[in-house]
A and B are shown apart, each in its own frame.
Chain A
Amino acid sequence: MNTVAVTPGGAEVKVKRSPLGRFSDVLYRRPNLYLLLLLVPPLLWFGSVYIASLLSLLWQGFYTFDDFTMLVDHTLTLSNYAQLFDAANFDIILRTLLMALSVTLFSALLAFPVAYYMARFASGRTKAFFYIAVMLPMWTSYIVKAYAWTLLLAKEGVSSWFINLLGLDAVLQFLLSVPGIGGNTLSTSNLGRFLVFTYIWLPFMILPVQAALERLPPSLIQASADLGGTPFKTFRHVIFPLAVPGIAAGSIFTFSLTLGDYIVPQLVGPPGLFLGTMVYVQQGSIGNMPMAAAFTLVPIVLIAVYLAIVKRLGAFDAL
């Protein structure tokens, strides 16, 4: 297609365009076509590799597993999903859920002051240092970190040496004696597992909270003070509500990552399966693919419920 341009004199001039130029003209005139071309590859990837395989996985949850032959039979059944509510299985779900919730809560508590400092006070080199300090641990393989923690938390490890140095042995012994969170040593207790989870997922909480606080205009804080709001009231009515979308975003990471994790529970903490380890055992050791598939549905449902609750609480209103 040749474009016809009209010169100021009125004479028609044919402008030659290369095929690529003409293609670019077409895209310019048809923004929808342009958008379509941009989106088709990622959507294909997302649809086939991600959604389709996930659906096929969940579909396998309806297949029957023959305990005797150890073979998967394509007869459809609801029993796998029903078995999730068996006391032993439900225990796993509950244990994982409690851990995910406490890790999320504790991460939020730890992350907020750091994020607040980074967003509102740090500048230049200090800020760069904090960014690197927060992200540096993510450059290391997380399996290595989890292993390192088993040593750090062991009875003769750095942590007990340090606690001893501080003279806090009694406090540690008391914490380890509390049923539910305690154990023989930190590395075999739920407390230790909780600390490692929090350590590993903390950056995922700090960064979104920091981003949310960064977007908060300083004039809002001044306006609150100007209208008579004490620092506490300013925090309660202005800073916190506007940081909630960041906390919600961070909590989605910490919550879902803890729910699906299968490495940390194997390395740190008391025996007893987590959702992730259960899927791993069912699929890897036993070969009960249908049951493993049924278990993968649990985190998906829990996260959906979690998001619904968080949305109900108005976490996304300030977005």
Chain B
Amino acid sequence: MTTVVEFSSVSRHYGEVKAVDQVSLKIAEGEFFSMLGPSGSGKTTSLRMIAGFEQPSEGYVIIHGHDATGLPPYKRDVNTVFQDYALFPHMNVLENIAYGLMVKGVAKKERLSRAQEALDMVALGEYGLRKPAQLSGGQRQRIALARALVNRPKVLLLDEPLGALDLKLREQMQSELKTLQRQLGITFIFVTHDQTEALSMSDRVAVFNKGRIEQMGSPRDLYNKPQTAFVAEFIGSANVIKQPLVDTLGLQSGKTFALRPEYIDLNAVSEAVSGELNAKGVIRDIQYQGANTRYQVMLDSGEALNVSCANSFSAGNEGSGDVLTDGAEVNLSWRADAMVELRDVELRGENVNVDNAGA
């Protein structure tokens, strides 16, 4: 598969601060690639180095096989959807969308008809003559998307584009973006701090932490085989099992494991225990979350484990989930292979296998 964007040991320093620290990655053509991480993890800076708004302090950015390091944004065949949309307030919607074509010298008639096409594509065909200020947040978002796509870029960069939308609209835009990406076959590089968003949309996700990539892989890999405690806890939620609990459970001493709360079975002490590993404890806290109920269980050995149970609809438990009450004694059990061994050292960017593009 062709690589469209490649980082080769890229760093970006602001004085003493290393916003991006020795990051290497390869993004394949047609891929939906997400950069996921908390704020300040370097994901947006990395995106901005692809767009050309920032230049690397060290290393190379390669776009379409050509070294793009030092190239200004207007000489790069990538387009960006900005977090604040960055629509030009003095132009109407059509003029905004046609802007990229206008500065490249496309004749007025052609650029307006192509802008109209792009506008139809985002289902806002009749809004062409409005000013951005007359549109809602969701509409502006679509205009920003149309304005980037009308230039037919090979790579589309999206900088937390759904951050300002409310939940329902965000979910709708997520599926629309995914559909659009499949239809157009364009590489999407999507920056987000929302792990659900990254998991549901992406072919591959790079998890950023403190300027480095902690782990890169498919959503399923990241969720089921996290390599570090950070990844395990940032994507979904996880119980990180360390010493001395490892010894208590009779596992190999000195190792660290991640265990997803939903992989633990929770039973009243009276019931039979089924799993390979067991622990006893007392419920300390119950959070009802609709589809699930989350229990915090204090183990007899003193550690707390989170357990998540789906709220089934059965006799005596009509979706309410509160069969077990606070302070109840419970048995926890789970399969040994539900636990994923973590590396204790945090990974450095250059250790990440960069050749698993399109995994």
| A224/B90 in contact, CB under 8 A | no
Residue in A217, A219, A230, A242 whose CB lies within 8 Å of B74: A230
| A227/B90 in contact, CB under 8 A | no
Q: How far is the CB of B88 from chain A (nearest CB, A)?
A: 6
Residue in B79, B80, B103, B104 whose CB lies within 8 Å of A237: B103
Mark out the residues of chain A between 198 and 247 whose CB falls within 8 Å of any chain B CB in the assembled complex.
217, 219-220, 222-230, 233, 237-238, 241-242
Asked if B38 CB lies within 8 Å of chain A CBs, one says: no
Asked if B100 CB lies within 8 Å of chain A CBs, one says: yes
Asked if B82 CB lies within 8 Å of chain A CBs, one says: yes
Q: How far is the CB of A228 from chain B (nearest CB, A)?
A: 5
Instruction: Using CB atoms, name the residue of chain A closest to B89.
Output: A318
Pick the most buried of A219, A220, A228, A230: most chain B CB atoms within 10 A of its CB: A228
Q: Which residues from chain A contact B204 at a C-beta distance below 8 Å?
A: none
Q: Which residues from chain B contact A169 at a C-beta distance below 8 Å?
A: none
Task: Say whether chain A's binding surface is mostly helix, strand, loop, or mixed.
Answer: helix
Whether A219 contacts B103 in the complex (CB less than 8 A), given A225-B72, A228-B151, A242-B90, comes out as no
Q: Which residues from chain B contact A238 at a C-beta distance below 8 Å?
A: 88
Q: Bound state CA distance, A318 and B89, in angstroms?
A: 7
Instruction: Using CB atoms, name the residue of chain B closest to A232.
Output: B103
Instruction: Using CB atoms, name the residue of chain A closest to B147.
Output: A227
Residue in B72, B83, B99 whose CB lies within 8 Å of A227: B99
Q: Which residues from chain B contact A233 at a C-beta distance below 8 Å?
A: 103
Asked if A317 CB lies within 8 Å of chain B CBs, one says: yes
Q: How many residues of A contact B (CB 8 A)?
A: 19
Binary contact readout B131-161 vs A (1 if CB under 8 angstroms, 0 otherwise): 0000000000000000110010000000000
Residue in A217, A229, A317 whose CB lies within 8 Å of B103: A229
Q: Which residues from chain B contact A227 at a C-beta distance below 8 Å?
A: 74, 79, 99-100, 103, 147-148, 151
Asked if B73 CB lies within 8 Å of chain A CBs, one says: yes
Q: Bound state CA distance, A229 and B78, in angstroms?
A: 13
Instruction: Using CB atoms, name the residue of chain B closest to A215.
Output: B89
Q: How far is the CB of A20 from chain B (nearest CB, A)?
A: 42
Residue in B51, B74, B87 whose CB lies within 8 Å of A229: B74
Q: Which residues from chain A contact B86 at a C-beta distance below 8 Å?
A: 217, 219-220, 222-223
Pick the most buried of B102, B103, B147, B151: most chain A CB atoms within 10 A of its CB: B103
Q: Bound state CA distance, A222 and B86, in angstroms?
A: 9
Q: Which residues from chain A contact B52 at a C-beta distance below 8 Å?
A: 225-226
| 17 other A-B residue contacts (CB within 8 Å) besides A227-B99, A228-B74, A318-B89 | A217-B84, A219-B86, A220-B86, A222-B51, A222-B53, A222-B80, A223-B88, A226-B53, A227-B74, A227-B79, A227-B103, A227-B151, A228-B100, A228-B104, A229-B74, A229-B103, A318-B90
| 16 A-B pairs (CB sep. < 8 Å) | A217-B86, A222-B51, A222-B73, A222-B82, A223-B88, A225-B74, A226-B52, A226-B73, A226-B74, A227-B79, A228-B74, A229-B74, A230-B74, A241-B90, A318-B89, A318-B90
Residues of A at the B interface (CB closer than 8 Å) are 217, 219-220, 222-230, 233, 237-238, 241-242, 317-318
